[in-house]
Structure 1
Amino acid sequence: MTATMRAERFYSDTKRVELEDVPIPEPGPGEVLVKVAFCGICHSDLSLINGTFPPQAPVVTQGHEASGTIAKLGPDVTGWAEGDRVVVAAGRPCQVCPNCRRGDLSNCQRIKLMAFAYDGAWAEYTVAQAVGLTRVPDNVPLEQAAILADAVSTPFGAVVRTGKVAVGESVGVWGVGGVGTHIVQLARLVGAVPVIAFDINPAVLERALELGADYAFDTRDDRLYERVAEITGGRMLDVAFDAVGLKVTFEQALSCVTVGGRLVGVGMSAESPTVGPTAMFGLTRKQVLGHLGYQNVDIETLTKLVSAGRLDLSRSISEIVALEDIHRGIEKLERQDGNPIRILVKP
């Protein structure tokens, strides 16, 4: 092991990502050093670069969807060994807020996000808390394991925990890119019927049908509401997921939700949608729920599903780029060149 490693560093003052040689970090108590195999490029990474998300550090290594092998154990780490295949959790509880102090770590009020508050994995090595690791079965490819840290686990949390989708419920998904594609797959996996995909790209809608959607519609269709009504026997949707986060997608999704149904906001932007007149909102008893992230146990559940062949992520890896070519990967995601589900970096 050399004394330095390559890492893509984000500078908040200039909004630039630069490839640099930096010291290999040393794992502290309860931590491990992970040799990164793959790391995803996520829209939230782009949001930090373009200023949509405020920086939490003046300089930080980006990348929060990481898989790899343990290279070194820090003091007091047990149950793990060098060479173990792992997925790294994309955040750490602060340990000091009121929720953390009472043991409710999953609802930490000041969660520290990997690649925002501390260094991530667009690098050859990254440091992770041992308690945040998930073991990867030998038959699960590490490139697929990497995206379990957000692109698949966040949809899992949205479908199972926030949306609480039940067998037989009707589900709509607005935006079937990296997150929405997996919401479609997971909604079908838990027994939702029908599962309806909504997007503006014909190729993306066709892909959604191939990956599990029962129907797929262009959101610009003037008869969209009527089509959903026809499919659901007039009930409309039990659960709608907005994986885009724009005003237009949020409000359209909410309009398609049935009385007492749920809208789960997963996508993020700087736009400000409304729920309409409060009188109607109260009368229809619709619920609007915000969603972020997952619980670490969700990654373990997903590794089991992939390992057992219940969840197919073979089409989720659209491209793999080298660390020195990360700007090309960022640009392709930003332009939606080739309609990527997830582009990975291989250090």
Structure 2
Amino acid sequence: MLAGRLNVTTRTFAVEEVDVPEPGPGEVLVKVAAAGVCLSDVHLIEGMLRPLYLQGDTVTLGHEVAGTVDRLGEGVTGPRPGDRVLLQAGEERDGVVHTRGVDYDGGWAEYALATVDTLVPIPDDLPFDQACFIPDAVSTPWAAIVATAEVRPAEAVGVWGVGGLGAHGVQLLRLVGAYPILAFDPLDAARQRALAFGADLALDPADPDLPAKVRAATSGLGLRAAFDFAGVPPVREQAAACLGPGGRLVLVGLTDKPLSLADGTRFSYLQQQIRGHYGSAAEHVVQLVDLVRGHRLDLTRSVSGTFPLAKAAEAVQALESKTGNPIRLILSP
């Protein structure tokens, strides 16, 4: 079968022929129908992210995966061949979370292995190209909103970066009743997308009147929660400056750069907080599938383009360069 393989030592990525894996006890072989291309995959190829638990130097990328059950390993009960499923983006091993497509082989392939407890059934009317990125592209902002930030209805919130995570962040903040929702992005197309996804106001971070506009939109109180989906130090400083009393700055976008605050005394006086966030839990993915099943969440606008698996490198380049300002690019084996 074809698989998109990364040597994490040499940072060499290639789509190559490998053997179809055999499901062992407690495992299921899934025929991949769609796999998302995430900025984390780009970071892995670039070397900014490194696997912690990978055995060996090479891994099949892809932590956003959906398809059909193909074969069952020994002792597996419940799922049946042909069942439509998505795969959780990771699993717990010996008390430690391992990430699919990072610490073990993922879904940029024609077939992928998964332990049976990481399969999530999906409804027949949910297309695979929308289901695959629920783990991470949708579940990460969802967990950041409901678990890390603990956003309440009618709280003023800000979203910095309206890309793959931020666009869904806006949509999900609308779902939980946040108000007003302010979006910040230097790209006009991204700001327009934020408004289409439910933001009440979309601003250019370089706008010299930005502080005044934030105060006006929040009745002078500032933001209760600010989300950095960009992972850029100046974004974090600007977002922190827009917080009101008791406000929470939630760091979702990844960066290896230091975090600094322009006015630490003000931050402490207003009893503000910085909360780190990474990924999501299994229940967040299940919740989102239920919300899609109940027609509370629509992901049809999130698929920005599809590439054949053999052209995975082109998809990575398109995401890295932001060609077409994508939300999610999809690989189709």
Per-residue deviation, residues 210-267 of structure 1 (Å, max 9, x unmatched): 1111110000011111100001000010111000111001111111111111111000
Select which of 18, 34, 42 maps to 2:14: 18
1:332 and 2:310 correspond? no
Instruction: Report matched runs for 1:71-110 at 5 Å.
Output: 71-95=70-94, 100=95, 110=96
Q: How far off its partner does 1:277 sit? A: 4.7
Q: Any stretches of 5+ residues in structure 2 without a counterpart?
A: none
Aligned counterparts of 1:7 and 1:327: Cα–Cα separation in 2: 12
Contact 1:246/1:273 (CA < 8 Å) preserved in 2?
Answer: no
Higher mean displacement: 280-289 or 316-325: 280-289
1:184 and 2:170 correspond? yes
Q: How far off its partner does 1:278 sit? A: 4.0
Aligned counterparts of 1:51 and 1:144: Cα–Cα separation in 2: 28
Aligned counterparts of 1:185 and 1:67: Cα–Cα separation in 2: 22
Aligned counterparts of 1:17 and 1:73: Cα–Cα separation in 2: 30
Aligned counterparts of 1:154 and 1:277: Cα–Cα separation in 2: 29
Instruction: Give the residue type in structure 2 aligned to 1:37.
Output: A
Aligned counterparts of 2:265 and 2:219: Cα–Cα separation in 1: 26
Per-residue deviation, residues 255-309 of structure 1 (Å, max 9, x unmatched): 1111111111000012112134543332111111111111112112111211222
Aligned counterparts of 1:277 and 1:200: Cα–Cα separation in 2: 24
Q: How far off its partner does 1:316 sit? A: 0.1
Higher mean displacement: 7-16 or 161-170: 7-16
Q: How far off its partner does 1:37 sit? A: 0.5
Instruction: Give the residue type in structure 1 aligned to 2:191.
Output: L
Q: Show the counterpart of 1:106.
A: none
2:18 alignment partner, SS class: strand
Q: Any stretches of 5+ residues in structure 1 without a counterpart?
A: 101-109
Q: How far off its partner does 1:20 sit? A: 1.2
1:32 and 2:31 correspond? no
TM-score between both structures, scaled by the size of structure 1: 0.93
Aligned counterparts of 2:7 and 2:61: Cα–Cα separation in 1: 10
Q: Show the counterpart of 1:45.
A: 41
**Percent identical across equivalent pairs?**
44
Per-residue deviation, residues 160-202 of structure 1 (Å, max 9, x unmatched): 1111111110110000000000000000000001111100000
Select which of 244, 256, 278 maps to 1:270: 256
Instruction: Report matched runs for 1:217-232 at 5 Å.
Output: 217-232=203-218
1:210 and 2:196 correspond? yes
Contact 2:2/2:310 (CA < 8 Å) preserved in 1?
Answer: no
Aligned counterparts of 2:186 and 2:264: Cα–Cα separation in 1: 30
Q: Show the counterpart of 1:67.
A: 66
1:236 and 2:222 correspond? yes
2:162 alignment partner, SS class: coil
Count of residue correspondences: 330
Instruction: Give the residue type in structure 2 aligned to 1:241.
Output: F
TM-score between both structures, scaled by the size of structure 2: 0.97
Aligned counterparts of 1:297 and 1:71: Cα–Cα separation in 2: 24
Q: Show the counterpart of 1:253.
A: 239
Aligned counterparts of 1:147 and 1:128: Cα–Cα separation in 2: 16
Q: How far off its partner does 1:13 sit? A: 2.7
Aligned counterparts of 2:75 and 2:183: Cα–Cα separation in 1: 47
Aligned counterparts of 1:278 and 1:151: Cα–Cα separation in 2: 32
Which segments of structure 1 move beyond 4 Å, counting only runs of 4 or more?
Answer: none
Aligned counterparts of 2:233 and 2:281: Cα–Cα separation in 1: 28
2:130 alignment partner, SS class: helix
Aligned counterparts of 1:282 and 1:94: Cα–Cα separation in 2: 39
Contact 1:248/1:273 (CA < 8 Å) preserved in 2?
Answer: no
How large is the RMSD of aligned CA atoms in angstroms? 1.1
